[in-house]
A and B are shown apart, each in its own frame.
Chain A
């Protein structure tokens, strides 16, 4: 094992902002900032639909604001299209059935000491590691 591309400071600062955004959403809207639930509910449920769509719109505006400051955003996605399609489907179905993703379970759920979220987070990280090990991307 070699350590590469390690950027602990920007990771920690960005992570803190994510945590703060989740706190704002909790304090003002009383809800958990789980992106998979917000996104899936925006197409499935009428309740809070407009709030959900505005949160998603905010997610898109965030990087645009960042790039207005003149900084480059690095984003490399070179996987083949079949992997992208299967990946998208699995992420969609999996987070719907499992009630959460990296934000809802990984950040908010673990922060609330939810046993379901802790188990889910361990499960999806291990599966992610095994998948990368097998497909060697």
Chain B
């Protein structure tokens, strides 16, 4: 059953990325282009997502366990460390250079665009390298 709920969550997530325009790198770059010709739409994507997820998850969290899985797995780390900042800054730079972040990049695989494949390939290489860097410390 966990497989089914994973697939369905992914499909709805992918539909949301499509409808919101997040799968369009030009639109994402328009959001980051605050000082020139700004497209504030992405702010509304975040607001919509948070308004739904935040209250629903707080209400549901009171249950002793999830519906299919044995327990909730939620990060409990509260430390603002160097890795968090360095990682977020690197991610922001990559996001600004391409207009793609992980979700939309993977969703865009069906658009048959060579640049997207190249991005996804190097993103996965980045995960692998990041994992090596992380486990060295």
Residues in A lying within 8 Å of B, measured CB to CB: 1-8, 10-33, 35-36, 39-40, 43-44, 48, 50-52, 54-66, 73-79, 81, 83-99, 101-103, 105-112, 114-116, 119-121, 123-133, 135, 137
What is the CA–CA distance of A118 and B53 in the complex, to the nearest angstrom? Answer: 15
The complex places the Cα of A57 from the Cα of B53 at a distance, in Å, of 22
Best-surrounded residue of B1, B50, B88, B115 (most CB of chain A within 10 A): B88
B14 & A127 in contact (Cβ 8 Å cutoff): no
Q: Is the interface of B mostly helix, strand, loop or mixed?
A: helix
Q: Please count how many residues in chain B sit with their CB below 8 Å of the partner chain's CB atoms.
A: 116
Q: Is the CB of A28 within 8 A of B21?
A: no
A120 contact set on B, CB distance < 8 A: 84-85, 87-88
The answer to whether residues A13 and B19 also contact, given A55-B9, A59-B13 and a CB cut-off of 8 A, is yes
Q: Is B6 within 8 A of A52, CB to CB?
A: yes
Query: Residues on B close to A: CB < 8 A?
Result: 1-3, 5-27, 29-30, 32-54, 56-57, 60, 65-75, 77-80, 83-103, 105-111, 113, 115-116, 118-131, 133-134
